[in-house]
Structure 1
Amino acid sequence: MALDAATIPDWTLKGELILNCNCTVFCPCVVSLGKHPPTEGYCQAWVGIRIDEGAYGDTDLSGLNVGLIMDIPGNMGRGNWKAAAYIDDRASDAAYDALVAIFSGAARGTTGLFGMLVSEFLGAERAPVSFETEGSARRLMVGKKIQGEIVPVTNASGKETVVSNTDYWMGSDITVATATKGRVRAHGRVWDFDGRSAEICQIDWRGPR
């Protein structure tokens, strides 16, 4: 979906992102900025986004959730990704269109890299997208398509392990986590990533510049 740069409104998203991938230990993409290959040589992941505050021009996006699946054949920075989006079924038509523009990369800005790295956008659809927090655990449920729960990894004193001051596209501070459940049944993909790498990140994204 191509958009004329001159007609893309200013947009912002603030909230939290969670991710679970097939890496057996913490994802090397964070510290290598996508230059180091995933631990298994390829990346498969589900992502959840909770939007606490957000707008696309005059369209309010606050309070909505988004789920994503990503299938990346090698180093993240080399592209050729496949991706699909699940948009909160509570979204208005205008909010749905705005979120598709943002998460397909068409709205440029922070997520504009999707437009460059995703060679096959598998599509977007409305779905019941639930993002819940209970204690330190985060859960994403998209019907039977994505069922995930992650928890932070703590050190010996019980503090969460955080990788700080990165230039990673999602945000500069990434909390290291692990999945207690990570299951995807969508677009012909059957993934089970229980016990594998996960991340938590506070997001402050914007566009189109």
Structure 2
Amino acid sequence: MAESAWQVQGQYYETCNCDFVCPCVPGQMMVKPTKGTCIFVMAYQIERGRFADVALDGLGFIVVGVTPEAMGKGNWSVGLVVDERATTEQRDAITGIASGSAGGPMAALSGLVGTFLGVETSPIEFKRSGVSWSVNASNLVRMEAEGATGLNPAAEPMQLTNTGHPAANTFSLARASNSHLAALGVSWDDASGRNNGQYAPFTWQGA
């Protein structure tokens, strides 16, 4: 994809099948995931965005993936769910941003991807109330989580900073209460309340 100037900002939400707290970021992606393989779902709610002259305000997308062992060893299988309201031009722009082919933060991970699973479209609904949040994409994706506070339950959620994570260098920790994924050949369901979640504002730009 030819690179064009672009910028998006909004809210990022993620759950994965690792136990809380996911070891992959503190372990510099060379630590084995707690379930052996990592299944992750990263949802992005674009509040304001533009790719060249294509407006992306109010749209959403979800990156889903599986890594067969430690994330840093590569061979990821990754796919994309894009807001069904997106036009063809908007969908192409979001695909370029999310895949890293248009540059930006996700480009740093593109070398770890062995298989691109494709793109599906769906309504995507984001809900947030205080430190509780959910993301729903019809029958493809469902995530529910609550920010994880420390010794003072009335305080803001605990955070990890200086992470180097492509979504945000600092993010709040969360406990996933419900995760469902049945998209692009990847399936995962968990309602144990033990899985990892995280969230943050994000600002990306490229070219």
Mark yes or no: TM-score above 0.5: yes
CA distance in 2, matches of 1:76, 1:105: 17
Q: SS of the counterpart of 2:18?
A: coil
Check whether the contact 1:103–1:114 (CA below 8 A) recurs between aligned residues: no
Q: Find 2:150's aligned residue among 147, 150, 155.
A: 155
1:197 paired with 2:196, answer yes
CA distance in 2, matches of 1:191, 1:207: 32
Check whether the contact 2:118–2:184 (CA below 8 A) recurs between aligned residues: no
1:173 paired with 2:170, answer yes
Check whether the contact 1:21–1:44 (CA below 8 A) recurs between aligned residues: yes
Q: Find 2:82's aligned residue among 70, 87, 99.
A: 87
Identity of aligned residues (%): 28
Deviations 1:49-81, CA, capped at 9 Å, x for gaps: 111111111111111111221111111122111
- Deviation at residue 135 of structure 1 after TM alignment: 2.7
- TM-score, normalised to structure 2, is 0.92
Q: Find 2:128's aligned residue among 130, 133, 140.
A: 133
Question: Number of residue pairs matched?
Answer: 203
CA distance in 2, matches of 1:169, 1:29: 13
Map 1:98-117 → 2, pairs under 5 A:
98-117=93-112
CA distance in 2, matches of 1:127, 1:42: 26
State which drifts further: 166-175 or 49-58. 166-175
* Root mean square deviation of aligned Cα: 1.5
Map 1:37-56 → 2, pairs under 5 A:
37-56=32-51
CA distance in 2, matches of 1:154, 1:147: 23
Check whether the contact 1:48–1:131 (CA below 8 A) recurs between aligned residues: no
Check whether the contact 2:120–2:184 (CA below 8 A) recurs between aligned residues: no
Q: 1:188 to 1:167 in 2, by over 3 A?
A: closer
Check whether the contact 1:176–1:199 (CA below 8 A) recurs between aligned residues: yes
CA distance in 1, matches of 2:162, 2:97: 25
Task: Report what 2:18 is aligned to.
Answer: 23
State which drifts further: 166-175 or 136-145. 166-175
- TM-score, normalised to structure 1, is 0.91
- Deviation at residue 142 of structure 1 after TM alignment: 0.8
State which drifts further: 126-135 or 94-103. 126-135
Unaligned 5+ residue runs, structure 1?
none
Name the amino acid aligned to 2:40. Answer: A
State which drifts further: 147-156 or 189-198. 189-198
Name the amino acid aligned to 2:70. Answer: N
Q: SS of the counterpart of 1:63?
A: coil
State which drifts further: 133-142 or 183-192. 183-192
User: After the TM superposition, which segments of 4 or more aligned residues of structure 1 sit over 3 Å from their partners?
Assistant: none
Unaligned 5+ residue runs, structure 2?
none
CA distance in 2, matches of 1:204, 1:55: 12
Deviations 1:87-120, CA, capped at 9 Å, x for gaps: 1111122111100111122112211134312111
